[in-house]
Amino acid sequence: MSHANARLTAHGRQLLIDRIIRDGRPVSHVAKEMGVSRQCAHLWVGRYRELGSAGLQDRPSRPHHCPRQTPANIEAAVVQLRRTARRGQQWIGDELGVPARTVSAILRRHRMPYLRNCDPLTGALIRSSKTTAVRYERQRPGELIHMDVKKIGRIPAGGGWKAHGRNSDTTSAQKKAPVGFDYVHSVVDDHSRLAYSEILPDEKGVTCAAFLARAADYFTAHGIGQIERIMTDNAWAYRKSLREVVAALGARQVFIRPHCPWQNGKVERYNRTLQTEWAYRQLFTTNDARHDALAPWLDHYNNQRRHSAIGGHPPISRLSPTS
């Protein structure tokens, strides 16, 4: 990528070459027209003659050689000492004969957490930032799926406050007779973003287990024959009751850290999409109408809706019957 003050992009360099080589115009004239020096123009002409069009592309500005770069064995020793001794950069630097600033750079490069966020006895991270340190995407469908439940309020007969207004008499009467909640259970495949959701009456363990079995059948029908790992939060419903289904699928369950929902971010983001594009996208006057709208929306999400995280393609584009 060109730097902010670059006079020529790859397209501009090609124009310069066309005017000099194809049209046979003087280098100095073309350079003046394009706002660059003669030396710069000669540089690009030389690269074009040596490498062709490939020579006009941007090159990394990183040095070819870094003779003063910290050796790999020193970097490994810094990281290992931080994990075992749990000491600061000055102490580690003194132990290894490395400047403290170099130690700090190494720790940042390896995404080592601050000591203040770690347990002083075990070194385990106990205070996390609100963003996942490393973004990732699994390499194949079914390698990891994310599972979660989203609770949304049921719609009273005739519509809720969105239909009647917050201060209407109807809304006031509805507040005195609450209608409860629906529980939207969802799973999302990490690689393809294929999703499956159901509206269920509760989030008990047996309900979650039965839903997971049906979700696995749905994934199988769409080309994900084997689920390897299932990521959930630490809710009690995902503990004992889910074990048998997970074992029957030949999968392994993994849990996020307590109170860190962003670690299950793909399904959490999907929950938000559910709300903005299905649950609250239009005015529903009955709860059944919203229920009926879920299946068509889910089909649209998986087969037609463009997903920015996978290049603007729908999730089904990453799947095939033999995935």
* pLDDT band with cut points at 50, 70 and 90 for residue 283: confident
- pTM assigned to the model: 0.58
What is the structure's pLDDT at 84? 87
DSSP, res 70? P
3-state secondary structure of 232: strand
Residue for token pair 């130690």:
103
DSSP letters for 97-123: T--HHHHHHHHHHTTPPPGGGB-TTT-
Q: What is the tens place of the pLDDT at every residue in 75-111? A: 999 999 998 888 888 889 989 999 999 999 999 999 8
Tokens representing residue 196 in the block = 């499956």
* For range 282-307, the mean pLDDT: 91
pLDDT at 128: 59
| The one-letter amino acid at 56 | L
pLDDT classification of 118: cutoffs 50, 70, 90: confident
Name the average pLDDT for the chain: 87
Amino acid in the structure at residue 194: L
User: Which pLDDT score, from 0 to 100, does residue 134 have?
Assistant: 67
Chain segment 174-233, per-residue pLDDT in tens? 566 677 899 999 999 999 999 999 999 999 999 999 999 999 999 999 999 899 999 999
Separation between Cα atoms, residue 22 and residue 104, nearest integer Å? 53
Q: What is the tens place of the pLDDT at every residue in 23-37?
A: 999 999 999 999 999
pLDDT grade for 312, boundaries at 50, 70 and 90: confident
Residues 146-162: tens digit of each pLDDT: 999 999 988 887 776 66
Residue 65: CA count within 13 A, CB half-sphere: 1
- Under 8 Å CB-to-CB from 132, ≥6 apart: which residues? 262, 263, 265
